[in-house]
Structure 1
Amino acid sequence: MSTKSKKTKKKRSKTKKRGTNITMKIAGLLLVIIIGAGSLFGISLFKGLPSLEELENPKPNLASLVYSEDGVLLHKFFLENRTFVPLKSISKWVPKALIATEDVAFYQHWGVDLRRLTLAMGENIIKGRTRWHGASTITQQLAKNLFLTQERTLSRKAKELITAIELEKTYTKDEILALYLNTVYFGSGAYGIEAAANTYFGKKASELTIPESASLIATLKNPTAYNPAKNPSTALGRRNLIIGLMEKEGFITHAQAVKAKATPVTLHYTPSTHHGLAPYFTEYIRQNIKTSSQLDGVNVYSDGLTIQTTLDSRMQRYAQEAIAQQAAALQAEFDKRWTCSDALKKQFIKESPQYRELVNEEGVAPATALSKLLADKVFVKNLLHDKSRVQMALISLDPTNGHVKAWVGGTNFSPDDYRYQFDHVWQAKRQPGSTFKPFVYSAAIDQGIPANYRILDQPLALRGGDGSVWMARNSEGQSGGMTTLRDALRRSLNQVTIRLAYQFLTPSEIISYARRMGITTPMQPNLSIALGTSEVSPLVLAQAFTTFANNGTWSEPLPVTKVLDKRGGLITEHKPVSHFGLDPASNFVMVTMLKDVIDRGTGIAVRARYGFDAEAGGKTGTTQSMRDAWFAGFTPQLVTVVWAGFDDERVHFTSMSYGQGARAALPAWASFMKKCYDDPELHLENRYFTMPDNVIAVPISAGSGDQGDLFNRDVYVEYFTPKGFARYRSGELNNTPPPAQQESDNPQDSTKTQTAPTPIQMPVLTPQEQY
């Protein structure tokens, strides 16, 4: 071989070696890149996987359930409407329908079905899909629902496979089925099989039939397209397909399949937006439940609480029926009689968002904006319609323990409009009018003024510290002669009430008694308070009236008795709270006087027109210009207060013929109470009020006021406290001069002798007159 050839060969050898080295370097670099990429992929993959603790303690959002005292589900609070139930509490047809449709090899695989996975991979590669489709087992779907996102990428699919395998290692097959059925979304706001069964069929998951089970499993493919309430024809087709798959897998017989397919879809559809039987009551609970320190850190929307209330679902229905019926009647009467003045109409317009928008945002001159909106007839009509809606409220308590039995906060609760979520039971504070008078008379009776003590039924002119003169008059504008306290309360005489308060009580004493008896809202220290000028809510007034029904002891309202966690463990418990309000003897005398209101006074329609004949006492109330109408009444087992009026106090009833307490509020009270007492399931009975041993019953002549023969026609039985009887017998109250500020032009004044103790110092009075 020549020297030249040797050199050429040697050169080629070096070149080849250099190329090999370069190739190896490139291959090594590629390997490093692949390993690095794989490591990064692995790190990102495992970074997104759930921990062992998360696998063992999954935390799906669980709805909190609010139950009535008689076991009816009133409402749910939730982010996701879900109630967890064990597999044994789910109809056996539900998991069979699920397995037949989604994963026939569920009990054979270990979380991943390799055969289905291989076929799906091949299909995805052949079709060039960038988003992963198909092959998910029930366990994989559970992994995705509990721990992963809904994206369809290769990395998410890998996480799903690994998590599914870990779930299979952690749980039994039945536990996986239970977890799946409790977490999956069935449409219409229903998460989990229990919520779905209640939403679509109004029953528990344990009660689902074959066709109902198939209908619910059908929604899983597409909760909108196969929703039986919204798309019944497509949902029916999907349901029958699933029934066929159940037959194919041997879960049901051919006869069962034929019968199930022929069964029509019968729904009892209640979507999650439904606010239940007592929306105002459950909203009150939502706003106030976390005031208990034991509930710190608890989420009412996701922790699956069970909230046990004192409400009775049957009484609640009667209350809502009574309010709806009376509100409709009042609205019809009001619409016939009311005309909005031009001045008030303009005020309404200037307060509207549309007016503010024109003036503040669009720069329209105020006068132009007002003219423009006045010319818009549709706008004005809708505005006046909203302003003139009659509102009513009803609250009923068990006086012995404060249990809330019924609660209606208004006439038109709307979950989508905050204006119609305002709860008149506890958020509205209005003047109670004459329903406050029993606390004035209670103070007098307790201080030894007997119920048969007589006071002149004439106006009393009082001069305030600012020089103004104030004179309260009776609602009908009439006056009379000497009148007993019993008759004055029975007939709701303002003139006697003011004279009683002026002669024997101070405003501070009236406030003291009212506060002792459960009026917890602020009260103004002037004499007009005797006619109910200080505002209260129906809830507070009902609380105070439990004093009369419960032998002088008042009970705080108790809406919730206990709260349980998702496992049934007790979180917090609430017991009745009661307070001494009035001496039992004084209280009993007051009860007899308030019974007279219903038996033969301003509340007589309870007996005569509405036929409620149980032992009961009560008081009507109508405020100035008929802005508010009240009826507060009680039996030994129920205290119920009804209010009627308007949200805007510039709107009010137009006539006493339908706008006074006896006409506007009393009918709803009587209707509710009668239905409750007529329902044998409620176990209410006609009970008599307990008379304390120290109460003294004396036959009294109605004409003379002296002790009389029990067999005379004008004789009635009067009740005295020991102190009151002693003052009656001693004649102590018959030797005091009349009040110095008394003014009257009525000739009856000269023929009657009015007696009273030394006049008290005149307070500064506001020129208000309450009926």
Structure 2
Amino acid sequence: MKVTGLLLVVLLGAGALFGINLFRGLPSLEELENPKPELASLVYSEDGVLLHKFFLKNRTFVPLRSISRWAPAALIATEDVAFYKHWGVDLRRLGIAVGENVIKGRTRWQGASTITQQLAKNLFLTQERTLSRKAKELVTAVQLERTYTKNEILALYLNTVYFGSGSYGIESAAQTYFGKPASQLTIPESATLIATLKNPTAYNPSKYPSASLSRRNLIIGLMEKEKFITPAQAVKAKATPLVLRYTPVSHQGLAPYFTEYIRQTVKSGSMLDGVNVYRDGLTIQTTLDSRMQRYAQEAIAAQAAILQAQFDRSWRCPESLKTQFIKESPRFKEMVNEEGIPEKVALARLRADAAWIKNLLYNKTRVQMALVALDPSNGHVKAWVGGTNLGPEDYRYQFDHVWQAKRQPGSAFKPFVYAAAIDQGVPASYRILDQPLALRSGSGGLWIARNSEGNSGGMTTLRYALAHSLNQVTVRLAYEFLSPSEIINYARRMGITSPMQPNLSIALGTSEVSPLELARAYTTFANNGVWSDPLPVLKVLDKNGRVIAEHQPSSHLGLDPAANYIMVSMLKDVIDRGTGIAARARYGLDMEAAGKTGTTQSHRDAWFAGFTPQVVAVVWAGFDDERVHFTSMEYGQGARAALPAWATFMKKCYSDPSLKLENRYFTMPDNIIAVPSGGSPESPDAPINNVTVEYYTPKAYARDQAGDFNSTPAPVNSGAVELPDSTGVQKMPAPSPAAAPPEPF
């Protein structure tokens, strides 16, 4: 009797412990009512194209009404034909499964799970196959049936289950395998996706199409058996070939650099505190245009291939530079620091490894390019290419040259110098001597800015000098009228935020900027003197479609509209008859446009910054390692390395009627004074070169009429010139009156 009582106590205790353990692991009522599966965040272009997904589990939640009716039919026919009849647990199937498990002595419990039980496991429980976990699954399934309708359970299931290839949920799976939303799935496509649920690897249609097709047809037969489809539909569906539009989730999407920029910056708003971009199912609406993005990528890819071929034909790596590359490599450092190999031995071994050396030099000598396009009226980012990728296998450059790379802009910076002078009342028709100006440093050396081709000329107008990018005139303009601090002040007013060195060399673009920063500043010219902060994101919505962050354009007055218009007219001359003339002569651009080329010392950086009233686009070309550079002006200057990509991009954009871009004229302020004049580029002594009308700001016209520009002014930089260790100025001899005018490079 005592033994029986003791046994009863033990059994009751064991049952109590089992019950405590069972209920301890069950989801709470709140968790049942508000399940939180991890949802992918979706990034959309302004024209509604899905650009990218951020996820740990690639899942997008959609309601049942947005899922093809064939998908739940295939699921029920395959997994749970009594789904609409039971209350979470199919007792008949459960009894049969219990008997099989007991008879076969299984320690891992399996079988008889209804759709609701599978949902309970997917949402709240572990994947272990133990008796206790199975008991929790049964209880949780009953609770789910009490909390949700049958259709809500179907929706939850189809949105949480794994379909293989990194796709969680049927919407993600439909996009991954068929490139379409779940609402458009056909009978055979629905059956194909449901087939993966048995084994997401073995029945993956992209990897094992034969196995997938076989199971698909089995499921179609089950759908016919359960009368979800007719025999005729079944015959037709089984005869349909397996056709995929497979896009693996590792695919970087249309604008990989842009979406990575979004990922890094989307949480800057206080309203997004605590939001997880990988789990919370956000919808991020950007300003990018997918059509312009494609044109940008095509233009960059084509031009980069041309530049790479030209560079590869002409570049030979100096032995001294090759040695530097080897010593900087992780492999060399590993051999010396971790393996204890002497430097000379390590260097010799690596030099002897021809395949390794070839790969090292290959990676060091890849041409890199960047293109960013903005809408100048509001700062909307329309296109963004942060690097040169020749194919998906080459997506190795995570460094984004649009916003992370800062390089010398060269002559692309000159418009800020001229803008400062024009705004202070110097007319575009003012003539300056096109001769070198030598600035003596404290160490006794000289800094002499020369024109790119090394030639000089006589008195030359500012308009002509900017159109033909004459360094000598630009430096003399800064020397005579502007201090470095004034140039910096105007550049800052127009959107340049990077540090700038306060010396006269800044006039030639020696302080580094990013392409995004330069594009922002050029929106000043395109938008009547008002620049806009780049605006990549319009709205961020939560998984329920509620707006949790919204961004508006931010504009700033950078330049007086009258002075700005004079600058626009001068920058139009760059394209119409200056260093950027290839845009029209070679690439056939016929819209109203303006811009500026830029080339830095030793052809390290090539730029073109161009704009219309509707689009500002900046292109940069160069190499990640500045010790590698283009080998000649034949192809390495801004007009030949960067301008072709800009011109190709702009032409494609303006040729696409769906973009609704049109040829608009730049707005002329009412107070601009137009004065007829004559002259030609062959006549350097003419007051104005190759224009029939010269434009003046009211201030410039008043000063011109007063005779302020009849003689050379006293330079503002007399005395201590703002160069490193500078102490004085030395002018070169003046040219003879018959000196030849400068030629465009």
Interval of TM-score (by shorter of Structure 1 and Structure 2) = over 0.9
Question: Deviating runs (4+, > 6 A) in structure 1?
Answer: 413-418, 704-708, 749-752
Counterpart of 1:435 in structure 2 is: 412
Alpha-carbon spacing, 1:345–1:679, altered in 2? closer, same or farther (3 Å): same
| Cα deviations by residue, 1:244-278 (Å, 9 ceiling, x for unpaired) | 00000000000000000000111010111111100
Q: TM-score, normalised by structure 1?
A: 0.92
Number of residues paired by the alignment?
726
**Match for residue 132 of structure 1?**
109
Is 1:722 matched with 2:698? yes
Pair 1:743-2:731 in alignment: yes
Residue 146 (structure 1) aligns with: 123
C-alpha distance in structure 1 between counterparts of 2:692 and 2:510, whole Å = 34
Q: Distance in 2 between matches of 1:309 and 1:553?
A: 22
The SS at the match of 1:462 is strand
Question: Distance between the aligned counterparts of 1:636 and 1:65, measured in 2?
Answer: 32
Q: Is 2:89 the counterpart of 1:112?
A: yes
Cα deviation 1:67-119 (Å, max 9, x = unaligned): 00000000010111111000000000000000000000000001000110010
After superposition, the Cα gap between the structure-2 partners of 1:113 and 1:690, relative to the gap in structure 1 and judged at 3 Å, is same
> In 2, are the aligned partners of 1:452 and 1:705 still within 8 Å (CA)?
no
Say if 1:280 and 1:413, in contact at 8 Å, map to a contact too: no
Distance 1:390 1:317 in 2: 20
Please say if residues 459 and 684 of structure 2, whose CA atoms lie closer than 8 Å, have aligned partners that are also in contact.
Answer: no
| Partner in structure 2 of residue 530 of structure 1 | 507
Aligned AA (1:717): V
3-state secondary structure, aligned to 2:340: coil
Question: Partner of 2:722 in structure 1?
Answer: none
Q: Tell me if structure 2 keeps the 8 A contact 1:414–1:420.
A: no
Contact persistence 1:279–1:413 (CA under 8 A)? no
Candidates 517, 529, 548, aligned match of 2:525? 548
**2:578 corresponds to:** 601
Residue equivalent to 1:412: 389
Residue in 2 that maps onto 1:304: 281
Aligned partner of 2:222 in structure 1 is 245
Structure 1 residue identity aligned to 2:13: G
Distance in 2, Cα, partners of 1:646 & 1:556: 27
Q: Distance in 1 between matches of 2:106 and 2:667?
A: 83
| TM superposition shift of 1:742 | 4.7
- Which of 52, 56, 64 is matched with 1:79 structurally? 56
1:116-162 C-alpha deviation (Å, 9 max, x unpaired)? 00101111111111111100000000000000000000000000000
Residue 289 of structure 1 aligns with which residue?
266
Q: Which residue of 2 aligns with 1:254?
A: 231
SS of 1:748's partner is coil
1:627–1:229 CA distance, 2 compared to 1 (3 A): same
Please state if 1:452 is matched with 2:429. yes
Question: C-alpha separation between the residues in 1 aligned to 2:390 and 2:400?
Answer: 9
Q: 1:750 to 1:45 in 2, by over 3 A?
A: same
Amino-acid identity (%):
77
**Which amino acid in the other structure matches residue 720 of structure 1?**
Y
Residue 319 of structure 1: aligned partner = 296
The answer for the alignment partner of 1:399 in structure 2 is 376
TM-aligned CA deviation for residue 466 of structure 1: 4.2
Between stretches 29-38 and 212-221, larger displacement belongs to 29-38
Could you tell me how far apart the structure 2 residues matched to 1:416 and 1:59 are? 35
* Partners of 1:751 and 1:646 in 2: CA distance: 38
Deviation, structure 1 residue 230: 0.5
Task: Give the letter for the 1:677 counterpart.
Answer: Y
Aligned alpha-carbon RMSD (Å): 1.7
1:370 to 344, 347, 352: 347
- Maintained 8 Å contact 1:698/1:717: yes
- In structure 2, the residue corresponding to 1:733 is in which secondary structure? coil
Letter aligned with residue 247 of structure 1: E
Partner in structure 2 of residue 5 of structure 1: none
Q: Structure 2: how far apart are the matches of 1:386 and 1:704?
A: 48
Letter in 1 for 2:451: N
1:224 to 190, 194, 201: 201
Paired AA for residue 382 in structure 1: N
Partner of 2:496, secondary structure, is coil
- Any idea what the Cα deviations from partners look like across 1:725-758, whole Å, max 9, x if unmatched? 1111121122346768453356427999xxxxxx
Q: Equivalent residue of 1:732, what SS?
A: coil
Q: Contact conserved, 2:439 with 2:448, CA < 8 A, in 1? A: yes
TM-score (norm 2): 0.95
**Per-residue deviation at 1:707?**
8.0
Q: Is the 8 A contact 1:413 1:421 kept in 2?
A: no
- Asked whether the equivalents of residues 188 and 237 of structure 2 are also in contact (C-alpha less than 8 Å), the reply is yes
Q: 1:737 to 1:68 in 2, by over 3 A?
A: closer
Unmatched runs of 5 consecutive residues or more in structure 2 = 719-728
For residue 182 of structure 1, what is the aligned residue in structure 2?
A: 159
2:569 corresponding residue in structure 1: 592
User: Greater CA radius of gyration, 1 or 2?
Assistant: 1
- Tell me whether 517-526 or 588-597 shows the greater mean CA deviation: 517-526
Unaligned runs of 5+ in 1: 1-23, 753-770
> Contact conserved, 2:457 with 2:735, CA < 8 A, in 1?
no
Partner of 2:710: 734
Cα contact 1:698–1:707 (8 A) shared by 2: no
Secondary structure of 2:548's aligned partner: strand
